[in-house]
Amino acid sequence: MPVVAFAQDAATAVATTPDAAASPNPLLPHNLSPWGMFMNADIVVKVVMIGLAFASLVTWTVCFAKMVELKADTRKAKKRIKVLSHDASMAEADRDSRDKNDAVAQLVQSAVKEASLSEAFDEGFKERVELRLSRVEAAMARKISRGTGVLATIGATAPFVGLFGTVWGIMNSFIGISESHTTNLAVVAPGIAEALLATAMGLIAAIPAVVIYNHLARQISAYRALLGDASAQVMLLISRDQGRRSLRVARAAE
């Protein structure tokens, strides 16, 4: 009889083993996709990932906005410099840039304004014009650089924010291990994966921000070089006008 009972117990165990293996473990999450891991994550980790997703959205918004602005301003500057190179005097440059609001036109208008306010056209006049041009260049550089600082901030802080979310999630995973009294990797791994998702989000936000910031910095430097070229062209026209004025005075004295 004991032998028969043991055989019956073994048959029952074999019959119930597949069902037990097939039944889902209530300790494991049912969805291990990125969205499922986000939904199963702790509230702090969720807040971290939402913040990083928003930072990524800001990065790409600034990227597209500044690229469009830089392209338009660079095209206007090149067109205006080409016109300046064909002008023979500041009067012609003033006529071509009148009622325009691009950067190079503002350089010309600033020089013309100083010429209208100055009584003597000497070396001091050139210095005053150069000061005005440098102020306009600095203002235009600040305007075109506006918004790029947030990219540097995101690129520098996003990995650490993601790391904070990961540390917090791993802490919760260890707390869950102590409460469930099990070290089964299948139970522990989903919580750790949810925590590591925060680090992945931090890198996704930081890497494009750094790359885009460096690209915009190069484009802004090129734009500032164009403004420097335009300032040099304006000073050339001023020097040319002064030479003509000196020649007229010399001829009148003769």
The residue ranges of every structural domain in the chain are 37-253
Cβ atoms < 10 Å from Cβ of 10: 10
- Residue 164's nearest CA partner among 124, 202, 116, 119 is 202
Handedness of CA 138, 141, 143, 148 (dihedral sign): negative
In this prediction, residue 119 carries a pLDDT of: 64
- Residue 162's nearest CA partner among 203, 190, 208, 209 is 203
Q: Which amino acid is at 3?
A: V
Rounded to whole angstroms, the Cα distance separating 20 from 155 reads 49
Rounded to whole angstroms, the Cα distance separating 221 from 214 reads 11
Q: Which residue has the tokens 């440098």?
A: 134
Quick check: pTM over 0.85? no
Rounded to whole angstroms, the Cα distance separating 190 from 136 reads 57
Rounded to whole angstroms, the Cα distance separating 252 from 7 reads 131
Q: For residue 197, give both structure tokens.
A: 């998702």
Q: For residue 206, give both structure tokens.
A: 């930081």
In this prediction, residue 214 carries a pLDDT of: 95
**Geometric angle at alpha carbon 243, from 80 and 83, rounded to 5°:** 10
- The separation between the first and the last C-alpha atoms of the chain, rounded to the nearest angstrom, is 143
DSSP state of 98: T
Q: Please answer whether residues 143 and 101 qualify as being in contact, where contact means their C-beta atoms are separated by less than 8 angstroms.
A: no
Per-residue pLDDT of the chain (254 residues; tens, 9 = 90+): 443 444 444 444 434 444 444 444 444 445 556 666 666 667 887 888 889 999 999 999 999 999 999 999 999 888 888 888 887 677 888 887 777 888 888 888 888 888 888 766 666 788 888 888 999 999 998 999 888 999 999 999 999 999 988 888 888 777 777 776 666 666 666 667 777 888 888 999 999 999 999 999 999 999 999 999 988 888 888 887 776 654 343 434 44
Handedness of CA 99, 100, 101, 104 (dihedral sign): negative
In this prediction, residue 185 carries a pLDDT of: 61
By CB atoms closer than 10 A (0-12, 13-18, 19+), residue 231 is buried
In this prediction, residue 247 carries a pLDDT of: 37
Distance of alpha carbon 38 from the chain centroid = 25
In this prediction, residue 104 carries a pLDDT of: 86
Handedness of CA 92, 94, 97, 103 (dihedral sign): positive
